[in-house]
A and B are shown apart, each in its own frame.
Chain A
Amino acid sequence: NAGVTQTPKFQVLKTGQSMTLQCAQDMNHNSMYWYRQDPGMGLRLIYYSASEGTTDKGEVPNGYNVSRLNKREFSLRLESAAPSQTSVYFCASSVTRPDRGRRNQPQHFGDGTRLSIL
């Protein structure tokens, strides 16, 4: 059981280039998330998708776009990469519909994409 799979694991871009980060989960989860992790800043939510067909902005959406391709896949696109977008990007997924008596569900993370923009 692979869980959450992110590709690529590493990428180096030049300023102005575009690229798409891919994420797929095999746990039949409804919700998916994209975070960026920077030293001392923790993880900050970029975009999330509560269910297939819906996407919403998180805390730091500027410079990014997302596509919820189907229930399994949620991609993150950088249209014109900037050095400030150098970061480690994590995708996560979770069950949306809570079990009886529990509203929040654990988020399951992939192992990240390390992105450097020169």
Chain B
Amino acid sequence: QQQVKQSPQSLIVQKGGISIINCAYENTAFDYFPWYQQFPGKGPALLIAIRPDVSEKKEGRFTISFNKSAKQFSLHIMDSQPGDSATYFCAASPRAAGNKLTFGGGTRVLVKP
């Protein structure tokens, strides 16, 4: 039983389009929500993270939207580029568990030129 549910499993978007990935969680103790990006043959790398005291965080073309009441958060990739083609993982960490992360199942994004 996954504590963090991620959708869709895969996504194809045209260059310049918007990629949207959604995650939902049940554990109300989660208070840190990072997104990791993984290229084939490589380990995941932190992309952007948010805490529940804000509803949105933007870094360049990447934006996290957070809805605390719905227990959902999403990643938007604006002006998607072929170099953004990767697998994206959402994750969550509870306050009492230090830095332990629970990951979603991952979304494979393909940006077509």
Residues of A within 8 A of B (CB): 4, 31, 33, 35, 40-45, 48, 50, 58-59, 90, 92, 94, 96, 103-112
Which residues of B have CB within 8 Å of A90?
43-44
Q: How far is the CB of B98 from chain A (nearest CB, A)?
A: 6
Determine how close the nearest CB of chain A comes to the CB of B25; give it in whole angstroms: 13
Contacting pair B9 A42 (CB below 8 A): no
- CB of B106 within 8 A of CB of A40, answer yes
Q: Are A109 and B45 in contact (CB under 8 A)?
A: yes
Instruction: State whether B44 touches A43 (Cβ < 8 A).
Output: yes
Interface residues on B, range: 20 to 34
Q: Is B66 an interface residue (CB 8 A)?
A: no
Please, which residues of chain A bring their CB within 8 A of the CB of B4? 42
Take A31-B99, A104-B32, A106-B34 as given contacts and tell me if A111 and B106 are in contact as well, using a CB distance cutoff of 8 Å: no
Which residues of A have CB within 8 Å of B100? 33, 45, 48, 58
Cα A109 to Cα B45 in complex, Å, equals: 7
How far in angstroms is the closest Cβ of chain A from B79? 25
A92 to B93, CA, bound (A): 15
Measured CB to CB, the residues of B under 8 A from A are 2, 4, 6, 9, 32, 34, 41-46, 49, 89, 93, 95, 98-106
Cα of A33 to Cα of B36 in the assembled complex, Å: 16
Sample 29 A-B pairs with CB under 8 A, ordered by A number.
A33-B100, A42-B2, A42-B6, A42-B89, A42-B103, A42-B104, A42-B105, A43-B89, A45-B100, A45-B102, A59-B102, A90-B43, A90-B44, A92-B43, A96-B99, A103-B32, A104-B32, A104-B99, A106-B34, A106-B46, A107-B46, A108-B45, A109-B43, A109-B45, A110-B43, A111-B43, A112-B41, A112-B42, A112-B43
CA of A42 to CA of B43, assembled, Å:
12
CB distance from A89 to the nearest CB of B (A): 10
Q: Which residues of A contact B105 (CB under 8 A)?
A: 40-42
CA of A59 to CA of B1, assembled, Å: 11
Given contacts A42-B103, A90-B44, 9 further A-B contacts (CB under 8 A): A40-B105, A41-B105, A42-B105, A42-B106, A43-B89, A104-B32, A104-B93, A106-B46, A107-B99
A42–B42 Cα distance when bound, in Å, is 14
